[in-house]
Chain A
Amino acid sequence: MKNIYFDYAATTPIDENVFKEMSPYLQEKFGNPSSLHFFGQEAVFALDKAREKVATFLGANEREVIFTSSATEANNIALLGLLQGKENPHVITSSIEHKSVLEPLNASKAEITHLPAYKTGIIKVEDILREIKEETTLVSIMYANSEIGTLQPIKEIGEAVKKINEKRKNKIFFHTDAVQAVNYLPCRVDDLGVDMLTISGHKIYGPKGVGALYIREGTKISSIFHGALQERGIRPGTENIAAIVGLGRAIEELKKNNKKRTKELRDKIINTVLSEIPQTKLNGSRENRLANNVNITFKGVEGESVLMALDQEGVAVSTGSACASHSLSPSYALLAIGLSHKDAHGSLRITLGRLTTEKEVDYLLEKLPPIIKKLRKISGK
């Protein structure tokens, strides 16, 4: 067996149907949607169609969806665009958000409250309620964590925020980064009670370089980019039509995700590793986690060494989020849920996907225990 992929949370391959639908827009249907002529109209048509698909999936109005170049850009637009011009805004977020939420907030002038994620990796709605004050403008909580896969109580937060908003003048807006959730969880914005929601193309078997942001009607987003009027001027710049078409189609293909089967394979990994390899620990809640996420600490080894040893066997896993692998410190999400630096460094993320087979899982489970044993022996632990 050669080169097995267990890093679907980092990125996914483009689905065959998605690829087929995108291809014409790279060559023969290359028009600029801002052009009046036939070529331009072909492109606008495709853009509209993709927007329709995303809107349908979210149970939203087409006007409420804008396309971006990435989920990072969508998060920046949502957060900075909402905060721009507000005086002394207060934002509530969690300590385990993606960098593309934490960093724009850090760059803003807002006062930020980072909620704890506890050992479970799940924040508490009551913590949000306690932190809300007069100046609170925005709550941004991710739907599912990219590293430990834990699910946040978005619907409960949405309901709670809605209740509070009924009694106050300055509305509190609620944003969720749903990048990791889209594959396996319902994302109808009214059910969730969110005002903004972020999606990424390449996490759902679509192309890289495209994201989408849902903005509820009536949510005022100032432009943080300046240019022409594409995407209502919120995201100026010629639309990446092929990628947007791909994102639209990827949404339609979500039904291919076999959540039940993925969960079974996930549990097989968790159960086998925890029972067969001593001194291991699952990070984050076992019940409330993504169907495809395994995050385990192996005491006394470095996750990076395990990663490279598995890579030599043709098995690709991750030590955290791919975006964090350039930084020196271990995963802040793992630290936030109470792991020591050492244990955080000894953690591995294994994420499954549509193409994962039981045979692949068995191969991983055959290779992993001896590697851990060997590495522990070397480090003398």
Chain B
Amino acid sequence: MKRSKHKVVIALSGGVDSSVAAALLKKQGFSVVGVFMRFWSEKQNRCCNLAAEKRARTVCKKLEVPFYALSLEKEFKEKVVDPFLDAIEKGTTPNPCVICNKEIKFKLLLDKLSVFDADYLATGHYAKIEGGKIFRGKEKAKDQSYFLWKIKKEWKNKILFPLGDLKKEEVRLVAKKQNLPTALTSESQEICFVGNDMYNFLSRHLSSFPGKVVDSKGVVIGTHDGLFHYTIGQRKKIGLPGGPYYVLEKDKEKNNLVVTRNEKDLFRKEVVLRDMNFLKDVSFPLKIRAKIRYRGELKEATLKKEKLIFLSPQRAITPGQSAVFYSGRELVGGGTIK
């Protein structure tokens, strides 16, 4: 089949970023197909999803591009939500968005490209892709390349990130100028299927086992209402007098929450990783910059296979979170903290 211009499938979330990405692609002359993915959510949040789907549909109508909504609730529940709950139950702090990108968003849509005879898959991520390399987005505070470390290397030549060179305010401006119905949508910060109340979400889906709070010497100094409600480094909501206390460790075996008053105890140089993935060929030892949480900062480190050694100690290295590596601005890969 002969086509004069390239065709691209854009994953729409109903938010401003993916909408603007779609608009930009259209403007650049791509033939665009909009796809909204219906993810699993609890009953009480379904209306938000319907509203998001409606916005995505309206954007496509406005841009005069075809729109499809795919029901992926089951796949999402199995591949993202259930493993998320399992990981939480094991006492770790997972990044479900990383898994979603790998198992659902990119994987399933890339599988569907041929259905539409499309050449590329685009998303509204703040990240840049150029010459087969993924880079951090232009705006540091918005950069979302952190969530992309697990995607497959070979996917890179099929992916477009139209927002790579834009700042959030520029994106909002485009949305406003083009009068996109998503121009005024608020920023989504939370995990999409959890919403803004993690505590109650977890309480609904996991049974909590209250236990003891101990200090680093094992002296009992209080009680907790279930280990999975806490994360390493946490200071708030520990509820002990004479603080501040920080969560140092979760002793799953004894169901003890280990806390410390000395924040320095939280600092470590070495991180052990599992399930590593690289987006380019590498050899060890590898000098990189890494961050160990989405909102964290890039720090100098050396990677010796699954051992990540920072130049200076890092606060609250949290099992389950992603350690993500960069060379300059380029995304190199990542791993899950053991």
Interface residues of A (CB under 8 A from B): 304-305, 308-309, 311-312, 325-328, 374-375, 378-379
Contact = CB atoms under 8 A, between A and B. Distances in A.
A378 B68 CA distance: 20
B71 A305 contact: no
Interface residues of B, number: 13
B232 to A, nearest CB: 36
A304 B35 CA distance: 13
Nearest to A312: B116
Contact of A309 (B71, B73, B111, B116): B116
B41 to A, nearest CB: 13
A166 B132 CA distance: 80
B298 to A, nearest CB: 38
A326 B71 contact: yes
Contact of B74 (A309, A326, A328): A328
A374 B68 CA distance: 20
A379 B108 CA distance: 12
Q: Can you list the 5 inter-chain pairs with the closest CB atoms, starting with the nearest?
A: A305-B115, A378-B114, A309-B115, A328-B74, A308-B115
B112 interface: yes
A305 B118 CA distance: 13
B70 interface: yes
A328 B111 CA distance: 19
Nearest to B72: A328
Given A304-B70, A312-B115, A378-B111, 20 more contacts: A305-B112, A305-B115, A308-B68, A308-B112, A308-B115, A308-B116, A309-B116, A309-B117, A311-B66, A311-B68, A312-B33, A312-B66, A326-B71, A327-B71, A328-B71, A328-B73, A328-B74, A374-B114, A378-B114, A379-B111
Contacts of B70: 304
B110 to A, nearest CB: 10
A379 B114 CA distance: 10
B9 to A, nearest CB: 10
Interface in B111-128: 111-112, 114-117
B69 to A, nearest CB: 9
Nearest to A305: B115
Contacts of A325: 71
Nearest to B77: A328
Nearest to B68: A308
Nearest to B31: A312
Nearest to B117: A312
Contacts of B68: 308, 311
Contacts of B116: 308-309, 312
Contact of A375 (B66, B73, B115): B115
A325 B116 CA distance: 20
